[in-house]
């Protein structure tokens, strides 16, 4: 496969970054986060299920269904907790802290799955993790935060996303087919979000944006599973966390936000770390 897994991880980062940008835009449009996520999970579930039925590509087992559903619920819950944390504190402070969840699957890759990571790769990983914090850092944000509830929400989000990464690596170790995992993931997430759906405020715009997010999510997670299955997971997870680069660039050119010097340095550090992981 050569370095196709790295390209897949980069594609995942781009898709996730675009989706996060859409989530930011939807917040400005006062759309319901839960409703939007429900529509994207439901759309992605129907699309992946239809594809599997059309090409008879399913190889379901109780383990694949349960593991996929757990990944979907963890991802949905992580998004909800992250949104709640945004309401309690600054986005520029919250996002990089939550991005540190990649440390959990990286450590698991080495300790539980005995994946060897070279020293130069560790340096690259540290550079990418540091860049994720630097490019979104905002001086003085902590003092204005509603700290305790913010910390609680951030902790739940980190735990959800970190556990999700570990389960994705486990699914690759168990040789679970990506399509089986995706259908179970979207189905489990849609069921979880359906129980929390705000039915009194459903809007067509939420459904349309949810469909777009669902399509990008299918591409992103398909690439994610491929990267974890065929590549070095301890490198894949930090690369995927670089989706914040897409959000920063979108902030500059879509939302007309100015890039500060330390953010430019953060982008340079991210690219440097990415180069080191390829050596």
Question: What is the number of residues in the chain?
Answer: 279
Per-residue pLDDT tens digits for 132-189: 666 655 555 555 556 678 778 888 988 998 899 889 888 888 888 888 889 999 999 9
| 20 pLDDT above the threshold of 60 | yes
Mean per-residue pLDDT for 231-241?
A: 80
**0.85 cut: is pTM over it?**
no
Whole-number average pLDDT of the chain = 79
Alpha carbon distance 28, 36 (integer Å): 13
Q: What pLDDT shows up at residue 212?
A: 92
The model's confidence at residue 279, banded by pLDDT at 50, 70 and 90, is low
CB of 249 within 8 A of CB of 132? no
H or E segment to which residue 11 belongs: helix 4-28
- 103 contacts 148 by C-beta, under 8 angstroms: no
Query: What DSSP string runs through 181-202?
Result: HHHHHHHHHHHHHHTT--GGG-
Chain segment 99-119, per-residue pLDDT in tens: 767 777 777 777 777 777 677
For range 5-24, the mean pLDDT: 87
pLDDT single digits (tens) 47-65: 999 988 887 777 888 898 9
Residue 278's closest CA among 248, 238, 243? 238
For the packed helices 4-28 and 62-88, what is the interaxial angle rounded to 10 degrees?
50
């Amino acid at each position: 496969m050569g370095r196709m897994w790295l390209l897949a991880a980069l594609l995942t980062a781009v898709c996730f970054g675009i989706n996060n940008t859409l989530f930011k835009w939807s917040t400005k449009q006062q759309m319901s986060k839960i409703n939007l996520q429900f529509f994207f999970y439901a759309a992605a579930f129907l699309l992946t299920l239809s594809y599997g039925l059309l090409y008879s590509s399913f190889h379901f087992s109780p383990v694949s269904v349960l593991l996929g559903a757990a990944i979907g619920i963890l991802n949905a819950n992580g998004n909800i907790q992250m949104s709640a944390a945004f309401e309690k504190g600054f986005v520029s402070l919250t996002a990089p802290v939550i991005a540190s969840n990649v440390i959990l699957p990286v450590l698991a890759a080495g300790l539980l799955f005995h994946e060897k990571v070279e020293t130069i790769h560790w340096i690259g990983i540290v550079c990418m993790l540091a860049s994720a914090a630097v490019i979104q850092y905002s001086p003085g944000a902590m003092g204005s935060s509603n700290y305790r509830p913010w910390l609680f929400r951030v902790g739940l989000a980190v735990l959800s996303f970190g556990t999700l990464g570990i389960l994705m690596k486990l699914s690759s170790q168990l040789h679970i087919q990506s399509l089986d995992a995706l259908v179970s993931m979207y189905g489990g997430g849609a069921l979880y979000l359906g129980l929390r759906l705000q039915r009194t405020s459903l809007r067509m715009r939420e459904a349309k944006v949810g469909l777009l997010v669902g399509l990008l999510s299918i591409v992103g997670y398909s690439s994610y599973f491929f990267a974890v299955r065929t590549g070095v997971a301890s490198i894949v997870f930090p690369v995927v966390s670089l989706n914040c680069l897409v959000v920063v660039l979108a902030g500059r050119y879509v939302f007309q936000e100015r890039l500060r010097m330390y953010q430019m340095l953060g982008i340079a550090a991210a690219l440097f770390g990415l180069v080191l992981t390829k050596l």
